[in-house]
Amino acid sequence: MLRHVVLLEMKDGTPDSAVAGIVTELESLIGRLPAEVRLVDYTCGRDAGLVPSGNAHVAIVADFEDEDGYRAYQSNAEHQAIIKNFIIPHLRKRMASQFIIKA
Amino acid sequence: MLRHVVLLEMKDGTPDSAVAGIVTELESLIGRLPAEVRLVDYTCGRDAGLVPSGNAHVAIVADFEDEDGYRAYQSNAEHQAIIKNFIIPHLRKRMASQFIIKA
């Protein structure tokens, strides 16, 4: 199984509603993804505010059956539209990684 | 449940063995953590190399029963020693976030 991890740090002054909107859009997308994405689990959320400063604002952890599923997710047109319209306009820094986990 | 996500980007020239060592040390720590950490799940791994460039080198996703468990993990002396001795010397950038997920 492949675990895809993304952390998003938004620009200073990004409205609270814009951060919340990213999570809403991504969670809503999940139910519409085609079978080829082979999604096993998807969690996405806003930072809980436990650390005084320096944390990312949004985290995503998505588990796919295999690499092909991950690639289908990344290239999905609706996913790309969310990135373009909801994330990029407010994005300061993105970090990501994919790693193998036991099924 | 609280999901703790960390991405580590290492300095240019960090030896392969040093990156592998971070994963080995963290995975080995898990079995020795005290009950107060209330760990539910822990995955840690090296980037799978699916993206040509820009990815973090190491990803960690740790699930705790609650915020107190997460705080016990963060302040754990052995965990702190791994951060100091194995991660910090090679670290270029760290991003992290904690968010609530359904149990």
Residues of B with CB below 8 A from A67's CB? 48, 50
Taking the alpha carbons of B99, B42, B45, B17 in that order, is the dihedral positive or negative? positive
Distance from CA of B103 to the nearest CA of A (A): 11
The 10s digit of each residue's pLDDT in A4-54 is 999 999 999 999 999 999 999 999 999 999 999 999 999 999 999 999 999
Task: Please give chain B's pLDDT, 103 residues, in tens.
Answer: 999 999 999 999 999 999 999 999 999 999 999 999 999 999 999 999 999 999 999 999 999 999 999 999 999 999 999 999 999 999 999 999 999 998 7
CATH class of B2-100: alpha beta
The span from the CA of B20 to the CA of B56, in Å, is 14
ipTM entry: 0.96
Pick from B96, B73, B71, B94: nearest CA to A59:
B96
Q: Which secondary-structure segment (H or E) carries B64?
A: strand B58-64
Distances (CA, A) of A102 to B43, B45, B101: 9, 11, 20
- Mutation choice for A interface testing from B40, B94, B99 by most A CBs within 10 A: B99
| Chain B nearest-CA residue for A74 | B51
